[in-house]
Amino acid sequence: MAYSVKVLDHYENPRNVGSFARDEEGVATGMVGAPACGDVMKLQIKVGKGGIIEDAKFKTYGCGSAIASSSLVTEWVKGRTIDQAMDIRNTQIAEELALPPVKIHCSILAEDAIKAAVADYRKKHGEQG
Partner 1 sequence: MLKLPIYLDYSATTPVDPRVAEKMIPYLVEKFGNPASRSHSFGWEAEAAVEEAREEVANLVNADPKEIVWTSGATESNNLALKGAAQFYCGKGKHLITVKTEHKAVLDTCRELERQGFAVSYLDVQENGLIDLEAFSSALRPDTILASVMFVNNEIGVIQPIAELGEICRSRGILLHVDAAQATGKVAIDLATLKVDLMSFSAHKTYGPKGIGALYVQRKPRVRLNAQMHGGGHERGFRSGTLPTHQIVGMGEAFRLARLEMGVENERIRMLRDRLLRGVSDIDEVYINGDMEHRVPHNLNLSFAYVEGESLLMAIKDLAVSSGSACTSASLEPSYVLRALGRNDELAHSSIRFTLGRFTTADEVDYATRLLHEKISRLRELSPLWEMVQEGVDLSTVQWAAH
Q: List active site positions.
A: 37, 106
- Please give the Cα distance from 91 to 99 (Å, whole number): 10
- In the complex, least distance from residue 62 CB atom to partner 1, rounded to whole angstroms: 5
Among 45, 62, 73, 110, binds partner 1 (CB under 8 A): 62
Question: Helices (DSSP H) in 18-81: which residue ranges?
Answer: 64-77
Residue (of 67, 119, 111) closest to 93 by Cα position: 111
Among 26, 33, 47, 69, binds partner 1 (CB under 8 A): 33
- Please give the Cα distance from 10 to 113 (Å, whole number): 17
- In the complex, least distance from residue 50 CB atom to partner 1, rounded to whole angstroms: 29
109 near partner 1 (CB under 8 A) = yes
Question: Which region among 63-71, 72-80, 83-91, 120-128 touches partner 1 (by CB under 8 A)?
Answer: 63-71
Residue pair 46/118 in contact by the 8 Å Cβ criterion: no
